[in-house]
Structure 1
């Protein structure tokens, strides 16, 4: 299924989550310089996860 990886203004459209570019995208942008609050936890959201 098609997916789009996104990280604070950066996007990478992919045909599937198996695309090897996804790992590189995450490696590059996880807590990267574009992150507005580096080191902040991803907790405290609203609602329940889906899927």
Structure 2
């Protein structure tokens, strides 16, 4: 079975690209980006099996 996304995409997953974006574009709100990505709903998200129709 596939690993839940919440186990794969952890806070460093959001933090690293946010810091790179902020380095290239200083007004970018890296902390706000990370807060929005890793919000309270994050723990409820799971990867769904593929193969079905939308």
* TM-score interval, smaller chain: under 0.3
* Structure ranking higher in strand proportion: 1
Highest RCO, 1 vs 2 (Cα 8 Å, sep ≥ 6): 2
TM-score normalised by structure 2 residue count: 0.25
TM-score normalised by structure 1 residue count: 0.25
* Structure ranking higher in helix proportion: 2
